[in-house]
Structure 1
Amino acid sequence: MSKILVPHDGSEASDKALDKAIEFAKALGSEIILLNVVDDRFVPPSTTLAFLSEKSSLEDAKTQIVRLLKQAAEGMLKDRIQKVTNQGIKMRHILAVGSPAEEIVAIADNEKASLIIMGSRRLSTKEKIKALGSVARRVSETSSIPVMIVN
């Protein structure tokens, strides 16, 4: 198992998935690819309006917001990156923009990952029914490689 892709959104479940990936990487000599996807479809209208001026377009505002979100993601991943490198594990990180499930599957394919280890919130049975569109579920259904979901 040469590469383990770990999508991370800053949640406790993602931290648990990273811990599991560290275990696997140590045991198997794998590289960890830490991924954060900025969902560019979610840009609150009030935030967008704050970036608009007579000289800027809606697309410029969206670009600025995505840039800020990527900066925030980079900051959020900093401690996680340090945690992995302190273990002596080869790793790198990727920041992507797009639909999270689609980007995770595409990057896993592009990077030729052997495994995806990702977090998921613990849901009650009733919540699970409502969560049919969750990112972890979509990744597990569409990925061509094994997906381990940690909660």
Structure 2
Amino acid sequence: MVSRILIPHDGTEMSDRALEKATEFAKAMKAEMIIVHIIDSRFMPPSATLGFISDRTSLEGTKTELIRILRSGAELMLREKVAKIKASGINIDFILDVGSPAEEIVKIARNSACDLIVMGSRQLSKVGTDALGSVARKVSETADSPVMIVR
């Protein structure tokens, strides 16, 4: 029985498709939903690298401001999606965090006792074969709960 579904959402159409599919399952199984957005900290320069930059204070301030802006936009997006789903009678909440997306998704699924992860994936082409996007691949390989990938 599925009682809690985790839906990672990065703001893309593929994530919207996964959210629609998860909503169908939640209605049918009377399950709760958690939608999660992880701001990818990997594109931020590591602190050790900042030591080689003369204007370190300015760069740290810019990094903090960029995360604040991304967090604000993501929270607005999540609140809109949550409101729409709540209106259909489903219990849903959201989590917004900063880190490595795949690692944080798996950690949140474990800590929230999620029975199912439903996520979208870009289809990457590798010399004539199809491959999952790196986040979906890593989540599907490391999560304790089943992972449904929606394309």
What's the TM-score, normalizing by structure 2?
A: 0.83
Deviations 1:50-92 (A, max 9, x none): xxxx794543432222111111111222331122111110000
1:133, distance to aligned residue in structure 2 (A): 6.4
Give the secondary-structure state (helix, strand or coil) at the position aligned to 1:9.
Answer: coil
| Structure 1 equivalent of residue 136 of structure 2 | 136
Task: Please tell me the residue identity of whatever aligns with 1:77.
Answer: L
| Structure 2 equivalent of residue 37 of structure 1 | 38
User: Which stretch shifts more, 18-27 or 116-125?
Assistant: 116-125
| Structure 1 equivalent of residue 52 of structure 2 | none
| Structure 2 equivalent of residue 95 of structure 1 | 96
Task: Please tell me the residue identity of whatever aligns with 2:44.
Answer: V
Give the secondary-structure state (helix, strand or coil) at the position aligned to 1:41.
Answer: helix
Task: Please tell me the residue identity of whatever aligns with 1:109.
Answer: R
What's the TM-score, normalizing by structure 1?
A: 0.83
| Structure 2 equivalent of residue 69 of structure 1 | 70
Give the secondary-structure state (helix, strand or coil) at the position aligned to 1:16.
Answer: helix
Q: 1:125 to 1:57 in 2, by over 3 A?
A: closer
Asked if 1:27 is matched to 2:31, the reply is no
Task: Please tell me the residue identity of whatever aligns with 1:14.
Answer: S
Structure 1 residues without counterparts, runs of 5 or longer:
45-53
| Structure 2 equivalent of residue 82 of structure 1 | 83
Deviations 1:76-116 (A, max 9, x none): 22331122111110000000100000000000001010000
Identity, % of aligned pairs?
55
8 Å CA contact 2:8, 2:119 repeated in 1: yes
Q: Which has the higher strand share?
A: 2
Distance 1:136 1:28 in 2: 24
Distance 1:99 1:126 in 2: 27
Deviations 1:13-39 (A, max 9, x none): 100100011011001111110000000
Corresponding residue pairs, total: 141
Q: 1:58 to 1:20 in 2, by over 3 A?
A: same
1:43, distance to aligned residue in structure 2 (A): 3.5
Deviations 1:95-142 (A, max 9, x none): 01000000000000010100000001234453756x576100000001
8 Å CA contact 2:123, 2:132 repeated in 1: no
